[in-house]
Amino acid sequence: MKVEVALILASHGDFAKEALKSLEMIVGKQANSCSLSLFPGTNLLDFTEEMERAYQELDTSNGAVIICDIYGGTPSNAATAMLLTHKSEKILAYSGLNLSVLLELSANRKKEQIELKRIIEEAAKYNWAELKMNKEKPTIEGGL
């Protein structure tokens, strides 16, 4: 049986931890996954080492997906360092951690890396939508 891709969520504060808990509340326990929380006083090198330890503890035989909260922050810079350190391994890294992408990813974690990449990027397109009310019914502009 094919192992699920390793999932590492990383954020400032407990956002990643709580996102994982929210995901599990909806779809159940997520095997082969972890969350990392950055707190004041932790520098990039220390956080990168923490991410590396998490990566080594997970089963990455089917690859890994790292999702961070914001682009350019310490968690995403640590993820970039992981990409550089593990160039020959199957790692995808994204910023913009959100529950809708996690839900889509959770249903597809046994798929190949190229398919996961497409699924994540497609799900991200529909993450942000303005909700409007018309006289008939609620609508989503620019979304699903």
- The string of pLDDT tens digits covering residues 74-93 is 999 999 999 999 988 899 99
DSSP state of 96: -
Quote the tokens at residue 95: 């910023």
Q: How far apart are CA 58 and CA 52, in angstroms?
A: 10
Cα three-residue angle 110-115-120, rounded to 5 degrees: 90
Q: What are phi and psi of 27, to 5 degrees?
A: -115, -5
Give the whole-number percent of the chain exceeding pLDDT 90.
Answer: 76
More confident residue, 142 or 1: 1
Lowest mean pLDDT among 48-52, 63-67, 80-84, 125-129: 125-129
Q: Which CATH class is domain 6-141?
A: alpha beta
Indicate the average pLDDT of the chain: 91
* 124: confidence class by pLDDT, cuts 50, 70, 90: confident
Q: What is the pLDDT of residue 88?
A: 81
Are 74 and 38 within 8 A, CB to CB? yes
Helix axes 74-85, 44-57, angle to 10 degrees: 60
Domain parsing of the chain, residue ranges: 6-141
- What residues have CB less than 8 Å from 27, skipping those under 6 apart? 103, 106, 107
